[in-house]
Amino acid sequence: MRFALAAALAALISGSALAAERTLSADEAKALEIFRTIISIRTAEKHGKMPEMAAYLAGELKKAGFPKKDVMIRPLGETASLVVRYKGDGSSGKKPILFMAHMDVVDALPEDWELDPFTLTEKDGFFFGRGVTDNKYGVANLTQTFIRLKKEGFVPNRDLFLVFSGDEETEMKTTRALAADPELKAAEFALNTDAGGGSIGPDGKPLVYGVQAAEKTYADFEITATNPGGHSSRPRDDNAIYDLAAAIARVQALRFPVMSNDITRASFAATGAGLGGDLGAAMIAFSKNPSDKKAAARISADPAYVGLTRTTCVATQLKAGHAPNALPQTATANVNCRIFPGMSVDDVKAALAKAIGDDKLAIKVLREPTVSPISAPREDVAAAVGKAVHARYDGLPMVVYMESGGTDGMHFRTAGVPTYGVSAIFMKEADGFAHGLNERLPVDAFYAGLDHWMTIIKALAGPQAGE
Looking at the predicted structure, is the pLDDT value of residue 1 above 70?
Answer: no
Looking at the predicted structure, is the pLDDT value of residue 275 above 90?
Answer: no
Please write down the HEC assignment for all residues of 321-381.
CCCCCEECCEEEEEEEEEECCCCCHHHHHHHHHHHHCCCCCEEEEECCCCCCCCCCCCHHH
Listed range (96-105, 290-299, 430-439) with the worst mean pLDDT: 430-439
Domain ranges for the chain? 2-195+407-461, 217-259+292-366
Indicate the CATH number for domain 2-195+407-461: 3.40.630.10
Predicted model pTM: 0.85
The predicted pLDDT at position 466 comes to 56
Looking at the predicted structure, is the pLDDT value of residue 302 above 60?
Answer: yes
Going by pLDDT thresholds of 50, 70 and 90, the confidence category of residue 159 is: very high
The predicted pLDDT at position 22 comes to 79
pLDDT tens column, 328-385: 999 999 999 999 988 999 999 999 999 999 999 999 999 889 889 999 999 999 999 9
CATH class of 217-259+292-366: alpha beta
- Taking a C-beta distance cutoff of 8 angstroms, is the pair 405, 338 a contact? yes
The predicted pLDDT at position 8 comes to 37
The predicted pLDDT at position 9 comes to 35
Residue 351's identity, in one-letter code, is A
- Taking a C-beta distance cutoff of 8 angstroms, is the pair 184, 161 a contact? yes
pLDDT tens column, 209-246: 999 999 999 999 999 999 999 999 999 999 999 999 99
pLDDT tens column, 375-387: 999 999 999 999 9
Looking at the predicted structure, is the pLDDT value of residue 457 above 90?
Answer: yes
Mean pLDDT of 294-319: 94
Whole-number average pLDDT of the chain: 93
The predicted pLDDT at position 430 comes to 85
User: 152 Cβ partners below 8 Å, 6+ apart?
Assistant: none
